[in-house]
């Protein structure tokens, strides 16, 4: 076992590593075979040379990130630990401000795959963004739509999703058609409200500049000069997906988002998103971005719960296969 010392210069270690060294402990979790001890302005490493070399490379990225952004979150650490972690420091890879939200909030792509989504949308007119909850698929797509509208690249934004209940029976809902459908569209409203003042958004909806409608309302239309987002696409049928994709006009931009782990269709019904991903993967002009747990930006527990549930599903599937073979 070898020992190595790393000096931390120009940064207060207490600020870098957080309260009770919480962030340092999180960094150490990526190197279980390495002993890391913090003393003052230095770290002492004990372990194999190859592992220490890798730790030092990643730690330098962390230092660079902190010096550049003056912050370090668990999500930042997750992304910096990836093989393409250095792209997190590349300001030319979609990390510019997409739009300025309410109260001056700067809305940017915050993870490697969110930046990849920005780059892919810039290069393709049809893009699929798939991955678990909390990865910013819809939020990033809405920000790109607003940016395109402000730049006059499109004349309107159309946001749609299938009106499928998430395993619940909502029963009879009072009110007119809009009031009945609004609960299904709420995630889209939430994203818009972060980026457009309430009164202005109301005017844009009234004048048709922003349209939020269920997928069934897209039938028979040609969507041109528009940025169109289909959200929760895992809950489309194959026929619905075909219908939606063929609505595309000559100057439209389409983004389809979904999470294949949250399909609410009847058990024997194939998801239109799964069908489209298989059919269109090699079609020129169609971009596909697959997001993962490292892109989750919600409460840290979300990432842990996704991991735990994925592991349980894999275990149950293995047991089912073993049982069927026996």
> Residue 311 falls within a domain, yes or no?
no
164 and 54 housed in the same domain: no
80 and 159 housed in the same domain: no
E-strand stretches of 92-138: 99-100, 106-107, 126-130
Of the residues 88, 121, 152, which one is the last residue of a structural domain? 88
Q: Where are the alpha helices (DSSP H) in the chain?
A: 13-17, 22-28, 49-69, 74-80, 112-123, 137-150, 177-195, 198-206, 238-245, 272-280, 300-325
Of the residues 50, 72, 88, which one is the last residue of a structural domain? 88
Overall domain count for the chain: 2
* CATH number of the domain that residue 183 is part of: 3.40.50.300
274 and 129 housed in the same domain: yes
> Residue 324 falls within a domain, yes or no?
no
> Residue 134 falls within a domain, yes or no?
yes
Neighbours of 268 (CB within 10 A): 5
165 and 111 housed in the same domain: yes
124 and 79 housed in the same domain: no
> Residue 309 falls within a domain, yes or no?
no
Of the residues 36, 68, 88, which one is the last residue of a structural domain? 88
Determine the Cα angle at 283 with ends 280 and 284, to 5°. 145
pTM above 0.85, yes or no: no
Give the residue numbers spanning the domain of 282.
Answer: 94-295
Q: Output the tens digit of pLDDT for each of the chain's 326 residues.
A: 788 999 888 788 888 888 888 999 999 999 999 999 988 888 999 999 999 999 999 999 888 888 877 778 877 787 788 766 665 555 444 357 788 777 667 788 878 888 899 999 999 999 999 998 888 899 999 999 999 998 899 999 999 988 754 444 445 556 655 666 677 778 788 888 889 888 899 899 999 999 988 888 898 999 999 999 999 999 999 999 999 999 999 889 999 999 998 888 888 889 999 999 999 989 999 999 999 877 776 666 776 787 788 889 888 988 888 887 76
């Amino acid at each position: 076992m070898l020992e190595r010392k790393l000096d931390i210069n120009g940064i207060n270690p207490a600020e870098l590593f957080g309260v009770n060294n919480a962030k340092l402990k999180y960094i150490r979790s990526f190197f279980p075979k390495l002993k890391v001890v913090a003393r003052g302005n230095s770290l002492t490493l004990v372990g194999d040379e190859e592992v220490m070399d890798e730790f030092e490379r990643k730690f330098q990225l962390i230092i660079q990130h902190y010096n550049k952004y003056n912050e370090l979150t668990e999500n930042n650490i997750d992304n910096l630990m990836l093989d393409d972690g250095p792209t997190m420091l590349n300001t030319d890879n979609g990390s510019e401000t997409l739009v300025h939200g309410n109260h001056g909030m700067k809305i940017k792509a915050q993870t490697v795959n969110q930046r990849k989504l920005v780059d892919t949308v810039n290069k393709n007119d049809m893009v699929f963004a798939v991955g678990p909850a909390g990865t910013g698929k819809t939020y990033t797509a809405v920000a790109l739509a607003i940016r395109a509208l402000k730049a006059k690249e499109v004349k309107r934004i159309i946001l749609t999703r299938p009106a499928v209940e998430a395993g619940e029976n909502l029963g009879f809902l009072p009110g007119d058609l809009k009031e009945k459908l609004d609960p299904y569209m709420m995630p889209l409203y939430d994203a818009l409200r972060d980026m457009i003042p309430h009164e202005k958004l109301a005017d844009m909806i009234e004048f048709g500049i922003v349209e939020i409608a269920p997928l069934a309302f897209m039938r028979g239309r040609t969507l041109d000069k528009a940025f169109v987002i289909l959200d929760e696409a895992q809950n489309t049928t194959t026929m619905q997906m075909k219908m939606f994709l063929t609505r595309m006009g000559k100057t439209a931009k389409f983004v389809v988002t979904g999470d294949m782990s949250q399909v609410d269709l009847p058990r024997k019904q194939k998801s239109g998103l799964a069908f489209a991903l298989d059919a269109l993967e090699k079609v020129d002009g169609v971009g596909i971005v697959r997001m993962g747990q490292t892109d989750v930006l919600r409460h840290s527990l979300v990432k842990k719960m996704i991991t735990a549930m994925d592991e349980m599903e894999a275990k149950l599937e293995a047991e089912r296969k073993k049982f069927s073979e026996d």
